Amino acid sequence: MDLNLLKELCSIHAPSGNEEKMTHFILDYVQKHKSGWKKEPQIHFGDDFQNCIVLVFGAPVTAVFAHIDSIGFTIRYNRELVKIGGPHLESGTKLRGWDQKGLAECEVVIDDQNNIRYKSDRDIERGTDLSYAPIWKEDSEYVQCSYMDNRLGVWVALQLCETMEHGAIVFSCWEEHGGGSVPYLIKFLCEQHALKNALICDITWITEGVIPGKGVVISMRDTGIPRRKFLNKIIEVAGKSGIPFQLEVEGSGGSDGTEIQKQPYPVDWCFIGAAEQNVHTPKEKVHKKDIEYMLGMYRYLTEPGRL
């Protein structure tokens, strides 16, 4: 399994609200590779989509949502760091970003009052956003780097483009910091196409009930609750695939699926993704078998007529 593209995706700076670098990377990737895909998509992007991208293949009934943003930090005053999303960190964590002076690198310092600041050889301009400096590690069983959540979901979505005949691939934004792009994306897909359901291509966490290497996770609920009829259908179809999967039940956490459920359109949804260790840290770690199972399950579920 070639993970060079995933490694490159994990290195791209794209915290919530500043996803432009990832947007440009994906658009460039699509332009370079679309001629070799089974079917070339309609590509929707630009001012009406902000930093998001929608690829439409044929007549889509199912859309795969993969958010392209990450957690991070914003420079405040007196070297204070304000969280973007929900990062977990410790003193010494290396961060990077760009301001008017160029590359800005620093380390996190947490004092006795749990104030979060940075240490650097220069002041970084206020308002600059920072992300974890990427450190890629790989062995025979695992891959580890910052932002597996959700660069792994983006990687899976790009692989799906190779064989997709009917469906939509949606690269959304702001998911880590409260969302905001899903309402207009769902509106577009429902009013311009006959969208009926969505698969949330994202990363969840290892728990006492979810074990590394034992299968892709199908989430039965988190803070959002998918419609049970659709969930049962997903589980039934997944069971026929022969691909290992695990069922997850959580009372916290959320995704683009939670936002989809709040929109005034009858779109069913289900979260399906690999589970990681060290969530929202620079050391997010995923079992390679679960990556294979995740990609295999998405290819199976998005085949014409499955859903």
* pTM: predicted TM-score of the whole model, two decimal places: 0.97
150, amino acid identity: N
Mean pLDDT value of segment 161-183: 97
Q: How far is CA 167 from CA 16, 50, 104, 194, 196, in A?
A: 26, 21, 40, 10, 11
Question: What does the alpha-carbon distance between residue 274 and residue 286 come to, in Å, rounded to a whole number?
Answer: 7
Mean pLDDT value of segment 31-49: 97
Residue ranges and CATH numbers for the domains of the chain are 4-70+137-301 (3.40.630.10), 73-132 (2.40.30.40)
Confidence of residue 84 (pLDDT cuts 50, 70, 90): very high
Q: According to the model, what pLDDT value does residue 90 have?
A: 86
Mean pLDDT value of segment 196-216: 98
Confidence of residue 89 (pLDDT cuts 50, 70, 90): confident
Q: According to the model, what pLDDT value does residue 218 have?
A: 98
Mean pLDDT value of segment 115-134: 97
CB 110 within 8 A of CB 145: no
On the question of pLDDT at 224 being above 90, the answer is: yes
The percentage of the chain sitting over the pLDDT mark of 70, rounded to a whole number, equals 100
